[in-house]
């Protein structure tokens, strides 16, 4: 495996990396066989995951008592040293961050060098704007060497609309002179048949990420099942609460696992109250808007061309660029 580009000794000084190698869940005080089994069944496989897990979910879903849950989370946070740290330490870590290429230099430049690990990226737009094409490409590119813009890892693809196509992966891999059989073996696909199943697949993703060196999790698309199952204004509140919890499960994955990018696609709807300007908006409301770290709007251009616009990102200006969808995949 190639050495990570830009890697330095700085990360080895991070306290949490030392703690992760020294301790496991069973080493925590108060974690017996019964508690360990409950945690593992809930997909809590590491101290870092436990440290980030909401107390309410530990009591309601995992079945731990209030005091036990509170004590375990506090202990896990102490082991992971999840307190304050100076901004220069955060900057040192971000300087060595490896990003995932989209295949288009224009698009990479727009989003600061590529898809960012440790963040939740939303791709939204009308049908045929390239959302599914782009996530297929990312599943191939993530397997590339660091110096080629990859993350030297594998992909987990949660397909909610039946749109995953191995044939498209083969085309994209062949265009990069890669063995498509090997590329396909390193993409794990889960077909979600309803919103509950979709949520369950994300909750169970921790095991697969750990076992298979997953570096990107794709959900294509986030909202489809929720829109079809929660109908009418009377269900809106519970839908948004469930969706909010689901998005935070994805965010937690991106933070628990080193160098993991999480990307989801989203549909759009037309606002009837907009008479001037573009009435198209993403679905999911403010819950999705606030949940995503980086939001990219895609729209059709001429022929193969598509226009990507950064709508929201903590460190990027609102700007756009053009890329193309070709037989070989995503290009400039």
Tell me the C-alpha distance between 260 and 147, whole Å: 17
State residue 10's pLDDT score.
Answer: 40
Contact between 288 and 331 (Cβ < 8 Å): no
Question: Would you call 125 exposed, middle or buried from its count of C-beta atoms within 10 A (0-12, 13-18, 19+)?
Answer: buried
Give the CATH number, domain containing residue 261.
3.40.50.300
Mutual angle of helices 195-203 and 236-256, in 10-degree steps:
20
Domain of residue 142: give its range. 97-331
Whether the CB-CB separation of 80 and 51 falls below 8 Å is answered with yes
21: domain CATH number is 1.10.150.20
- Give the pLDDT score at 279: 52
Q: What is the DSSP code string of 121-143?
A: EEEEESTTSSHHHHHHHHHHHTT
- Confidence (pLDDT) at 283: 67
Domain termination site, one of 46, 79, 112: 79
CA 92, chain centre distance (Å): 23
Question: What residue ranges in 135-293 does DSSP mark as E strands?
Answer: 154-159, 187-191, 214-220, 261-266, 268-270, 280-282
Show which of 30, 49, 79 is a domain's final residue: 79
Domain-embedded: residue 91: no
pLDDT 10s per residue in the chain (332 long)? 444 454 444 443 444 443 344 678 988 988 889 999 999 888 898 999 999 999 998 999 888 899 999 999 999 999 998 889 899 999 998 999 999 999 999 999 999 999 999 999 999 999 889 999 999 999 999 999 999 999 999 999 999 999 999 999 999 999 999 999 999 999 999 999 999 999 999 999 999 999 999 999 999 999 999 999 999 889 999 999 999 999 999 999 999 999 999 999 998 764 545 445 555 566 677 778 788 999 999 999 999 999 999 999 999 999 999 999 999 999 99
69 and 16, same structural domain? yes
Task: State in Å, rounded, how far the first CA of the chain is from the last one.
Answer: 28
Would you say residue 197 lies in a domain? yes
Prior bond of 96 cis (ω within 30°): no
pLDDT value, residue 22: 60
Look at residue 254 in the predicted model and tell me its pLDDT: 95
Are both 133 and 165 inside the same structural domain? yes
Specify the pLDDT at position 30.
Answer: 82
Q: What is the model's pLDDT at position 88?
A: 95
pLDDT at 281: 65
Q: Is residue 89 part of a domain?
A: no
Say how far apart CA 332 and CA 318 lie, in whole Å: 20
- The structural domain count of the chain equals 2
According to the model, what pLDDT value does residue 173 have?
A: 98
């Amino acid at each position: 495996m190639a050495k990570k580009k830009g890697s330095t000794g700085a990360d080895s000084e991070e306290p949490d990396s030392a703690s992760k190698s020294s301790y496991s869940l069973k080493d925590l005080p108060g974690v017996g066989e019964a508690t360990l089994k409950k945690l593992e069944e809930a997909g809590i496989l590491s101290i870092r995951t436990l440290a980030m897990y909401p107390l309410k979910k530990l009591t309601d879903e995992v079945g731990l008592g209030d005091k036990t849950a509170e004590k375990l989370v506090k202990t896990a946070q102490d082991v992971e040293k999840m307190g304050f740290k100076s901004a220069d330490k955060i900057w040192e870590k971000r300087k060595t961050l490896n990003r995932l290429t989209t295949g288009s230099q224009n698009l990479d430049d727009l989003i600061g060098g590529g898809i960012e690990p440790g963040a939740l990226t939303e791709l939204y737009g009308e049908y045929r704007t390239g959302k599914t094409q782009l996530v297929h490409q990312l599943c191939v590119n993530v397997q590339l060497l660091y110096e080629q813009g990859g993350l030297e890892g594998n992909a987990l693809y949660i397909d909610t609309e039946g749109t995953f196509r191995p044939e498209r992966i083969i085309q994209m891999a062949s265009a990069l002179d890669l063995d498509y059989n090997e590329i396909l073996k390193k993409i794990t696909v889960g077909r979600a048949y309803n919103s509950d199943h979709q949520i369950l697949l994300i909750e169970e993703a921790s095991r697969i990420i750990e076992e298979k060196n997953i570096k990107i999790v794709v959900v294509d698309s986030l909202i489809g099942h929720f829109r079809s199952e929660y109908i009418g204004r009377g269900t809106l509140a519970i839908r948004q609460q469930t969706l909010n919890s689901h998005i935070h499960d994805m965010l937690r994955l991106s933070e628990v696992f080193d160098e993991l990018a999480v990307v989801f696609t989203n549909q759009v709807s037309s606002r009837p109250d907009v008479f001037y300007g573009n009435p198209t908006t993403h679905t999911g409301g403010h819950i999705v808007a606030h949940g995503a770290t980086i939001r990219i709007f895609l729209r059709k251009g001429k022929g193969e061309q598509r226009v990507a616009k950064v709508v929201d990102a903590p460190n990027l200006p609102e700007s756009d660029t053009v890329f193309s969808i070709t037989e070989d995949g995503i290009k400039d």
